[in-house]
Amino acid sequence: MISLSEVLKEYSSEVAIGPVDLEIPRGGITALVGPNGAGKSTLLTMIGRLLGLDAGTIEIAGYDVASTPSKDLAKIVSILRQENHFITRLTVRQLVAFGRFPYSKGRLTVADEKIVSEAIDFLGLGVLENRYLDQLSGGQRQRAYVAMVLSQDTEYVLLDEPLNNLDMRHSVQMMQHLHRAAEELGRTIVIVLHDINFAGHYADRICAMKEGRVVEFGTPAEILTDDVLTRVFDTPVRVIDGPNGPLAVYY
């Protein structure tokens, strides 16, 4: 369980994130949605300890994010940001193997290699594993980074807009991979999404944010209504019944 209490990040007297009180239960996919500048990514980076808090506490599985040593947290939670600095002369497999650093400290064992292979196969990167990162398309590279996060083998996985730069087919595949990771590997995945329909279809819970605060938290069925979405996104939204569940129409 990830629990946030009174979490606050102040940028200026007008711009602040929080105070946020939120409990994200174990298991499944929780999607963070909301308009631009709502604070979704900021909240995610604070949970992933990449950004300090000004007030409040965040606990992941009972460990306080601010006081638990970073190297211990790295075995509990992994985070993937939108922009990654990528280095040349690094193959997909070597990148994924970096995910084992919290355990191996760079000295890979046979067991580490096996987990790395599993993460690569899980995301269907087997044929690409010896390619250099700069020889990949944006979507393939995105998948390689997700594989690295999976090979870190943490119960909690935080992903900041992993569907960025992905086309229709790869977005769907990515969400299916993540859904399987939650289902088969028992991971708790928190993900920032822009497309409310992706959130509605694949997420188990949706957390809607607006102006730095959590305004709605519930199952997709509870969030995907005309009322709620119109209020959250400040734009007229109609929810209709699609062939695979409710669909938000906003254009």
Chain residues in the site for another protein (CB under 8 A): 45, 48-50, 70-75, 78-81, 84-85, 87-91, 93-94, 96-99, 101-102, 105-108, 112-113, 116-117, 126-132, 134-135, 149, 152
Q: Among residues 68 and 165, whose Cβ is nearest to another protein?
A: 68
The nearest distance, CB 161 to another protein, in angstroms, is 14
Q: Among residues 91 and 230, whose Cβ is nearest to another protein?
A: 91
Q: Among residues 67 and 88, whose Cβ is nearest to another protein?
A: 88
CA distances (Å), origin 229, targets 20, 247, 248: 20, 11, 8
Distance CA 83, CA 113 (A): 26
The nearest distance, CB 66 to another protein, in angstroms, is 13
The nearest distance, CB 191 to another protein, in angstroms, is 15
Q: For residue 21, give every residue at least 6 positions away whose Cβ sits within 8 Å of its Cβ, in sequence order, or none.
A: 4, 5, 6, 7, 214
The nearest distance, CB 182 to another protein, in angstroms, is 19
Q: Among residues 148 and 224, whose Cβ is nearest to another protein?
A: 148
Q: What is the DSSP string of 128-157?
A: GTTSBGGGS-HHHHHHHHHHHHHHT--SEE
Q: For residue 205, give every residue at least 6 positions away whose Cβ sits within 8 Å of its Cβ, in sequence order, or none.
A: 24, 25, 28, 29, 30, 31, 217, 218, 219, 220
Distance CA 214, CA 229 (A): 13
Distance CA 76, CA 112 (A): 17
Distance CA 96, CA 112 (A): 11
CA distances (Å), origin 175, targets 43, 76, 166: 21, 22, 11
The nearest distance, CB 6 to another protein, in angstroms, is 22
The nearest distance, CB 226 to another protein, in angstroms, is 38
Instruction: Answer for the pair 99, 77: CB distance below 8 angstroms, yes or no.
Output: no
Separation of CA 13 from chain center: 29
